[in-house]
Amino acid sequence: MVRTYVFKNSLKIIALGVLAAVTIWAGTSLVLAGSYLIALILVIGTGGITYIYLSKRTYPLRYLVPGSSSSSPWSSTRSDTTSTSPLPT
């Protein structure tokens, strides 16, 4: 059973392994620089993504995570201008 799972999902396992390796490298660099909060957010986010993509129970979330991560509060296209006209005045 385990052998079938590994062969069937080898690309996914390799991609998540690369993600984990980059997270360990970046997390270590962030901790050494003193950015503990950002390192903690990075590790929790990577752990959540790994759980979502390896668990059979979270199958619907596999389609929601990429879209919801790109619509973060910081990716807003809010304009600070008060004019509603597209033409310059």
**Better pLDDT: 78 or 35:** 35
Q: Residue range 60-71: average pLDDT?
A: 76
Largest CA distance in the chain: 69
Amino acid identity at 25: W
The pLDDT of residue 58? 86
pTM score, whole prediction: 0.64
Among left, alpha and beta (phi > 0; psi -120 to 50; other), residue 88 is beta
The pLDDT of residue 41? 92
The pLDDT of residue 82? 57
| Residues 5-56 pLDDT 10s | 777 778 888 988 999 999 999 999 999 999 999 999 999 989 998 899 888 8
Angstrom distances, CA of residue 61 to CA of 8, 17, 51, 58, 66: 20, 20, 10, 5, 9
| Structural domain spans, the chain | 2-63
**Better pLDDT: 10 or 76:** 10
